[in-house]
Structure 1
Amino acid sequence: MDTIILAGGKSSRMGQNKALLPLGNERVIDRLINEFSPITRRMFLVSNHPSEYQSININILTDEPEFKGQGPLAGMEIGLKNATSQECLIIACDMPFASKQVGKWLIDELTNGNFDAVIPVSEGRIHPLFGAYHKKIQPIIRTCLLDQKRRMTDLIDQLNVKLVEQNDAPEYLQNIWGTCFWNMNTMDDYQKALKHLGGHNDF
């Protein structure tokens, strides 16, 4: 499997690049790379600000010029286009506590079934930006972008998707399921993330 990390750059709600914020003794992006490297054949980072990541030993991609800045679908398109594995894990950098155990299970569900994607559900919400996707859907994403359909739901509606909820997951994933899909979008969220690292469960 390959892992594709989507790092969008400066966040309007955060006021800065959330991927570069420190969490403990490492940055968010370093945390994700270190977490998923052990289960990954090749790892890609998609960003339209590649100079911010030059110190990181990772394959850096930018959106296709015609799709630049068109959101996560553009990042998924270039990531899957360059992937060398048929099964790929997509992770947004605003999920600092994404777990390789959950990611590996999502990939296994994709591999063992005849699906285009396996997307988790937590607390009634789907989380397509921490999901397992087949490389073959890249042309579908490209068509969505060419048709100005830039929402994740525009893509999902065209795929054979398996949605998985917490009670579908193995017992060893139950305790980390909710935290795994928590999004860090604001400075208040960032403070919660720091407290979580300190042993407080404030999510």
Structure 2
Amino acid sequence: MSLYTMPCVIFAGGKSSRMGKDKAFLPFGGCDSLIQFQVQRLKKIFANVYISAKDKTKFSGIDALVIEDILHPEISAPTTGFINIFKQLKTKDSFFILSVDTPLVDEKTISKLLEVSTSEYEAIILRTHSGIHPLCGIYTRALEEPIKMMMQKGDHKLRKLLASANVYYVDINEENLLSNLNTPQEYEKAVQNLEK
């Protein structure tokens, strides 16, 4: 199977406050860290995998280019990552994003998102019964200016951005695929689910 040419960006710039430690570096799926697990599996799907993070030195041992958030190091929100991604990937019109703490999103689900044409929509986002998942989907350059305008107002809510954008939602029933690893209990549950 040929690899997708659309860039893939793993968001790993969160605070991990509920976990008590940086979840990107917890061991997972036979890898030394969750970020390593995500990079390895996503490189089997995408030709170019990047990491969006606050401090690139933390990821020096990981085989992926880091898009560092040097413009807004004091703000912990995905919107700041987007600004740096648009700047770094200036020749690309769209990119796929996935949060580091959703390791159960499988290739089949990712392919469903990538099958939708980005020429007709500003974003293509995964949706389950519990709602939308802004950190699992495709964003296009059409949203660069709206994100900048939101940030100027101090607004960092992706759901608000998507509510006023032309979005295609891909619906799936497998809620467990979108399990976030925010707490030690959720992490242990995800480890067990992966072993099944």
Query: Which band: TM-score by shorter chain?
Result: 0.7 to 0.9
Tell me the residue number matched to 1:104. Answer: 111
More helix by proportion, 1 or 2? 1
Deviations 1:108-164 (A, max 9, x none): 2143x6100111111231101011111332222122111211111221123101122
SS in 2 for 1:29: helix
5 Å-filtered alignment, 1:63-102, equals 63-66=69-72, 68-83=74-89, 84-102=91-109
Give the alignment partner of residue 183 of structure 2, picking from 165, 183, 186: 186
Alpha-carbon distance change, 85 to 193 in structure 1, aligned in 2, over 3 angstroms:
same
Aligned-partner Cα distance in 2 for 1:109–1:92: 20
Residue identity opposite 1:93 in structure 2: V
Give the alignment partner of residue 38 of structure 1, picking from 26, 37, 44: 44
SS in 2 for 1:45: strand
Tell me the residue number matched to 2:124. Answer: 118
SS in 2 for 1:60: strand
Residue identity opposite 2:45 in structure 1: I
Structure 1 segments unaligned to the other structure (5+ residues)? 167-173
Aligned-partner Cα distance in 1 for 2:74–2:52: 11
SS in 2 for 1:114: coil
Give the conservation status (yes or no) of the 8 Å contact 1:110–1:132: no
Alpha-carbon distance change, 52 to 64 in structure 1, aligned in 2, over 3 angstroms:
closer
Tell me the residue number matched to 1:22. Answer: 27
5 Å-filtered alignment, 1:155-166, equals 155-166=161-172
Alpha-carbon distance change, 110 to 64 in structure 1, aligned in 2, over 3 angstroms:
farther
SS in 1 for 2:126: strand
Give the conservation status (yes or no) of the 8 Å contact 1:9–1:49: no
Give the conservation status (yes or no) of the 8 Å contact 1:89–1:130: yes
Residue identity opposite 2:82 in structure 1: M
Alignment RMSD, CA only?
1.9
Give the alignment partner of residue 148 of structure 2, picking from 121, 124, 142: 142
SS in 1 for 2:185: helix
Alpha-carbon distance change, 110 to 180 in structure 1, aligned in 2, over 3 angstroms:
farther
TM value normalised by structure 1: 0.84
Aligned-partner Cα distance in 2 for 1:66–1:197: 35
Aligned-partner Cα distance in 2 for 1:187–1:181: 16
CA drift of 1:19 comes to 1.0
Alpha-carbon distance change, 69 to 119 in structure 1, aligned in 2, over 3 angstroms:
same
Of 79-88 and 119-128, more deviation after overlay is shown by 79-88
Q: Percent same amino acid at aligned positions? A: 26
Alpha-carbon distance change, 68 to 105 in structure 1, aligned in 2, over 3 angstroms:
farther
Alpha-carbon distance change, 79 to 68 in structure 1, aligned in 2, over 3 angstroms:
farther
For these two proteins, the number of residue pairs brought into alignment is 189
Structure 2 segments unaligned to the other structure (5+ residues)? 1-5
Give the conservation status (yes or no) of the 8 Å contact 2:104–2:194: no
Tell me the residue number matched to 2:12. Answer: 7
